[in-house]
Chains A and B, each alone.
Chain A
């Protein structure tokens, strides 16, 4: 249903003619097929609905006025930044897509070690500005191409640096938040006019309501500014790189090392990670290149770190005796970046790494110590500028077998999960056959250590109907294993109870049916009450799981 003229005019008056469009072709480009952009939805060929208009506000005040108009006319709205994830798109027919592209300022407060950023400031730019003053930020696993504000305020935000810098919830210091009813709330110390320095006040925190552990995925109004904690960066201020595209590399001298550490089995692997938790010596820690799969990772590393290589070389490289041997040695592996703040500090950390290897029977991958591979991996993990290699093999992937939890718990499942995926790879052709184990993720999602964040990359072709459908069938099978080990909903299902397969929002009635059967329905009733308080007209989609208490009474 098209917007009434007075509604469109009211929106146009806020941002000006050039920053709003209801052209069908323009609005069509603000739709997505979840199998193209994934982010844990599960493969589907359905498009999200077309918004009735797209609007590009330039300030928090404009956002506030837009939201007020939406409330007045009962228009669903959703704000997004880079639009990488399905969760950023609207899910109804009478809906306005808010594109926050025009809001991208970054203010660095070096003294108080934080950055105040607007929505479209992607992590690469925040990091570049922070590094100029010797600081850095946690770039979540999604990579530096994504919005820092979106990651930190509305989603999980753990990644390679989380082990030393913490995840999203640990890094948000203050927010400027346009509530779904149009009121602007400022949280933490900001709310008491003391600036952005502290998320816990003086002033109301509200962090739990706004983002909780996993974030409301853009369904609780619009966050227009946040302060994120910055962390010490001992590297060069201008981020020098070398090499030819696409295989850029970095050599920042002897105080930076990127090791691929390998272990004989999962137990020694887990023990080594525990040592890293205890020793606090890792700047970054990630099982990164295993996303290409246990059998292919050596060959893929050769391809992506060499500007002359292509996927066409993959079969030849997989069968290369040296690469084969090196790949085999990296069966149980992960990458760490060790950064020395002084030569002495580096010396200590190097010794500590060697001690951990000695204690666990581990070794450093020789192939990954070759200068070109080392320098490629160092740059990769520090900037996370190549994260979209996630898609390089097939054009789409889904994360399954999400082993997020205690590292010892995760390895209990690792072999069984590997066997399950490998079986599917050999018995079906719908997913890429990469060797079963394609688990990737951070050493710790929490600052200081404590919980892994693994997912098994399942690569499929979004252009191939059989591949999409076959992958869907595969992800149906992974949940049984997750249930067996009490890991909860699999990654590919994280968002399947908040948006329907056809791309539309769930109605309250549909959510009631789902959540009244939940083990702890009161959680969803609590969320319902919060939503009623801040979003009485329920205008932001169904990514906040809610249960009407009346439904439970029935």
Chain B
């Protein structure tokens, strides 16, 4: 698809505001009613999905140009995908998220990128990691001494894929190590890609760098095939989304599980047993790429057709991503199974969860916006009275750890694996 291919959607958007608020049926307060970080921070209509549809028309028609302000507006979107969910509450034929990302790709094709994005993409190209400054040579340091099989040498039932953040961030490496140990102690035959371990490049796709995404994705798919990998387990929600939703478009058939799905399954099978009480009230943050964007990919090849003169339908039936089949219950099952833990919910959850602010590398390109977005979530988490904010994505965790609420206060932030570890 190219930006021009979204013209019908641009002209059929009815400016209903669904892209800016949580589903109206779910609104419980003024404070937590909105759900687009981009317009939430920048305020101008331009930054909403509606504004982006309008902007694309103006760009394609030559009325607007890709100057610095517009380049920033295009990229200052975490690709969190909420606009897509909100839109689809009442519309069945618009794809705001796909359009937003295509608009970014249009900017990238025209050489319009943000300064903060350059080192991220350069590092991806050179070192196969989306964390600037990290080196390919150190990618698997975290896995030393874990006794992980190299799946190129020894077959394993599952291939553990840590992702960039767990691989390089010293604070998070321990979490990845504990995740592997947890699987091993539950009797899981687990391996990893060894020297072929690589970035999934999902964030490059979210940023509109399609060519860089495809390069890495194709390399990874080839590696999976060569090593005979059939099942991947990852603790990273961005990797999960990439493997689950984006890779199949390029031919990947590998089964993908997020670690929370696997742990939930192991708990249910009695292979993980909690022995300690963790007296704590927690609230859970649904990562965008595990939740609403974690729905399985369904292939579709069809076209629009009109019935009853002007009613637009897809022929054949097109998959409709409403976010409802994302991974929401598994992490909650885990938290509810840990003795002593009380789970309290925020107002914006599941398919209408608020974003952490780190998506599409906005933590690198637009750090103030990203920090504000994370701070909004910390404020919401604190409003529940919880002692800690738990999540299942390293990018979310990192952004929350560095964030403060509206009063300037921090909050304890835990990866769900850390909480599981405390109970064993």
B24 & A385 in contact (Cβ 8 Å cutoff): yes
**B65-95 vs A, Cβ < 8 Å mask (1 yes, 0 no):** 1010110010000000000010011111100
- Asked whether B29 is an interface residue with its Cβ less than 8 Å from the other chain, the reply is yes
Contact pick for B310, options A29, A106, A244, A461, CB 8 Å: A461
A467 to B89, CA, bound (A): 25
A392 & B91 in contact (Cβ 8 Å cutoff): yes
Contact pick for A459, options B73, B91, B310, B316, CB 8 Å: B310
B25 & A248 in contact (Cβ 8 Å cutoff): yes
- The 8 lowest CB-CB distance pairs between A and B, nearest first, are A385-B24, A395-B12, A25-B64, A388-B16, A28-B58, A25-B70, A388-B90, A29-B51
Contact pick for B33, options A30, A124, A312, A396, CB 8 Å: A124
Contact pick for B314, options A31, A121, A125, A312, CB 8 Å: A312
Query: Which of A23, A38, A122, A245 lies at the interface centre, i.e. has the most chain B CB atoms within 10 A of its CB?
Result: A245
- Asked whether B224 is an interface residue with its Cβ less than 8 Å from the other chain, the reply is no
Given contacts A24-B65, A36-B15, contact A56 B43 (CB under 8 A): yes
B313 & A425 in contact (Cβ 8 Å cutoff): no
Stretch with Cβ within 8 A of B (4 or more), from A193-201, A431-439, A444-452: A431-439
B45 & A431 in contact (Cβ 8 Å cutoff): no
Q: B205 CB to closest chain A CB, in angstroms?
A: 24
A518 to B316, CA, bound (A): 54
B29 & A314 in contact (Cβ 8 Å cutoff): no
- Asked whether A181 is an interface residue with its Cβ less than 8 Å from the other chain, the reply is no
Instruction: Pull 19 A–B residue pairs with CB atoms less than 8 Å apart, ordered by A.
Output: A21-B44, A28-B55, A56-B43, A122-B17, A124-B21, A145-B18, A238-B28, A245-B322, A245-B324, A246-B88, A250-B25, A307-B324, A311-B311, A311-B314, A314-B307, A383-B27, A388-B16, A391-B91, A425-B309
Contact pick for A29, options B54, B92, B306, B311, CB 8 Å: B54
Q: B369 CB to closest chain A CB, in angstroms?
A: 12
**Closest residue to A296 on the B side, CB-wise?**
B308
Contact pick for B311, options A54, A145, A394, CB 8 Å: A394
- Asked whether B46 is an interface residue with its Cβ less than 8 Å from the other chain, the reply is yes
Q: Please indicate the chain B residues that have their CB under 8 angstroms from the CB of A241 in the complex.
A: 25-26
Q: Please indicate the chain B residues that have their CB under 8 angstroms from the CB of A54 in the complex.
A: 44-45
A433 to B309, CA, bound (A): 6
Q: Please indicate the chain B residues that have their CB under 8 angstroms from the CB of A25 in the complex.
A: 46, 55, 58-59, 64-65, 67, 69-70, 73
Q: Please indicate the chain A residues that have their CB under 8 angstroms from the CB of B30 in the complex.
A: 104-106, 121, 125-126, 128-129
A429 & B85 in contact (Cβ 8 Å cutoff): no
A463 & B7 in contact (Cβ 8 Å cutoff): yes
Q: Please indicate the chain B residues that have their CB under 8 angstroms from the CB of A29 in the complex.
A: 44-46, 50-51, 54-55, 58
Q: A36-B15, A102-B43, A106-B30 known; 11 other A-B pairs, CB under 8 Å?
A: A29-B45, A50-B63, A124-B33, A127-B27, A245-B23, A311-B313, A311-B314, A385-B23, A387-B90, A388-B16, A430-B310
A396 to B12, CA, bound (A): 7
A126 to B28, CA, bound (A): 10
Q: Please indicate the chain B residues that have their CB under 8 angstroms from the CB of A311 in the complex.
A: 92-93, 311-314
Given contacts A312-B314, A432-B309, contact A28 B14 (CB under 8 A): no
Q: A63 CB to closest chain B CB, in angstroms?
A: 15
- Asked whether B318 is an interface residue with its Cβ less than 8 Å from the other chain, the reply is yes
B59 & A99 in contact (Cβ 8 Å cutoff): no
Q: Please indicate the chain B residues that have their CB under 8 angstroms from the CB of A82 in the complex.
A: 15, 17
A395 & B93 in contact (Cβ 8 Å cutoff): yes
Q: Please indicate the chain B residues that have their CB under 8 angstroms from the CB of A396 in the complex.
A: 12, 14
Given contacts A83-B15, A312-B317, contact A307 B322 (CB under 8 A): yes
**Closest residue to B87 on the A side, CB-wise?**
A388
B73 & A26 in contact (Cβ 8 Å cutoff): yes
**Number of B residues with CB within 8 Å of any CB on chain A:** 64
Q: Please indicate the chain A residues that have their CB under 8 angstroms from the CB of B254 in the complex.
A: none
Contact pick for B308, options A24, A313, A434, CB 8 Å: A434
**A300-329 vs B, Cβ < 8 Å mask (1 yes, 0 no):** 000000010011111100000000000000
Q: Please indicate the chain A residues that have their CB under 8 angstroms from the CB of B89 in the complex.
A: 245-246, 385-386, 388
A431 & B309 in contact (Cβ 8 Å cutoff): yes
Query: Which of B8, B23, B73, B351 lies at the interface centre, i.e. has the most chain A CB atoms within 10 A of its CB?
Result: B23
A238 to B26, CA, bound (A): 10
B24 & A383 in contact (Cβ 8 Å cutoff): yes
B28 & A463 in contact (Cβ 8 Å cutoff): no
Q: Please indicate the chain A residues that have their CB under 8 angstroms from the CB of B85 in the complex.
A: 245
B15 & A84 in contact (Cβ 8 Å cutoff): yes
A388 to B12, CA, bound (A): 12
B21 & A145 in contact (Cβ 8 Å cutoff): yes
Q: Which of B287-337 contact A (CB under 8 A)?
A: 306-318, 320, 322-324
Contact pick for A125, options B33, B46, B88, CB 8 Å: B33
Q: B343 CB to closest chain A CB, in angstroms?
A: 17
Q: Please indicate the chain B residues that have their CB under 8 angstroms from the CB of A127 in the complex.
A: 27
A314 to B307, CA, bound (A): 9
Query: Which of A248, A385, A431 lies at the interface centre, i.e. has the most chain B CB atoms within 10 A of its CB?
Result: A385
A464 & B310 in contact (Cβ 8 Å cutoff): yes
A92 to B214, CA, bound (A): 47
B44 & A37 in contact (Cβ 8 Å cutoff): no
A241 to B11, CA, bound (A): 33
A459 to B65, CA, bound (A): 34
A462 & B69 in contact (Cβ 8 Å cutoff): no
B: which residues have CB within 8 A of A? 7-8, 11-18, 21, 23-30, 33, 39, 43-46, 50-51, 54-55, 58-59, 63-65, 67, 69-70, 73, 85, 88-93, 306-318, 320, 322-324, 351-352
A106 to B27, CA, bound (A): 14
A: which residues have CB within 8 A of B? 19, 21, 23-26, 28-33, 36-38, 50, 54, 56, 82-84, 99, 101-102, 104-106, 121-122, 124-129, 143-146, 238-239, 241, 244-246, 248, 250, 296, 307, 310-315, 379, 383-396, 425, 428-434, 459-464, 467
Q: Please indicate the chain B residues that have their CB under 8 angstroms from the CB of A125 in the complex.
A: 27, 29-30, 33
B90 & A246 in contact (Cβ 8 Å cutoff): yes
Q: Please indicate the chain B residues that have their CB under 8 angstroms from the CB of A429 in the complex.
A: 309-310
**Closest residue to B24 on the A side, CB-wise?**
A385
Q: Please indicate the chain B residues that have their CB under 8 angstroms from the CB of A387 in the complex.
A: 16, 90
Q: Please indicate the chain A residues that have their CB under 8 angstroms from the CB of B39 in the complex.
A: 101
Q: Please indicate the chain A residues that have their CB under 8 angstroms from the CB of B351 in the complex.
A: 245
A83 to B53, CA, bound (A): 14
A312 & B12 in contact (Cβ 8 Å cutoff): no
Given contacts A36-B15, A82-B17, A459-B310, contact A391 B90 (CB under 8 A): yes
**Closest residue to A386 on the B side, CB-wise?**
B90
A389 to B16, CA, bound (A): 10
Q: B363 CB to closest chain A CB, in angstroms?
A: 20
Q: Please indicate the chain A residues that have their CB under 8 angstroms from the CB of B315 in the complex.
A: 312
B27 & A128 in contact (Cβ 8 Å cutoff): yes
Q: Please indicate the chain A residues that have their CB under 8 angstroms from the CB of B54 in the complex.
A: 28-29, 31
**Closest residue to A35 on the B side, CB-wise?**
B11
Q: Please indicate the chain B residues that have their CB under 8 angstroms from the CB of A37 in the complex.
A: 14-15
Q: Please indicate the chain A residues that have their CB under 8 angstroms from the CB of B63 in the complex.
A: 24, 28, 50
**Closest residue to B316 on the A side, CB-wise?**
A312
A114 to B323, CA, bound (A): 37
Contact pick for A36, options B13, B28, B65, B92, CB 8 Å: B13
B27 & A124 in contact (Cβ 8 Å cutoff): yes
A122 & B317 in contact (Cβ 8 Å cutoff): no
Q: Please indicate the chain B residues that have their CB under 8 angstroms from the CB of A462 in the complex.
A: 11-12
Query: Which of A25, A127, A464 lies at the interface centre, i.e. has the most chain B CB atoms within 10 A of its CB?
Result: A25
Q: A456 CB to closest chain B CB, in angstroms?
A: 15
B73 & A463 in contact (Cβ 8 Å cutoff): no
Q: A135 CB to closest chain B CB, in angstroms?
A: 15
B46 & A461 in contact (Cβ 8 Å cutoff): no
Q: Please indicate the chain B residues that have their CB under 8 angstroms from the CB of A24 in the complex.
A: 58, 63-65
B309 & A430 in contact (Cβ 8 Å cutoff): yes
Query: Which of A241, A392, A396 lies at the interface centre, i.e. has the most chain B CB atoms within 10 A of its CB?
Result: A392
Contact pick for B23, options A238, A246, A432, A464, CB 8 Å: A246
Q: A424 CB to closest chain B CB, in angstroms?
A: 10
A312 to B128, CA, bound (A): 43
Q: Please indicate the chain B residues that have their CB under 8 angstroms from the CB of A390 in the complex.
A: 14
Q: B19 CB to closest chain A CB, in angstroms?
A: 10
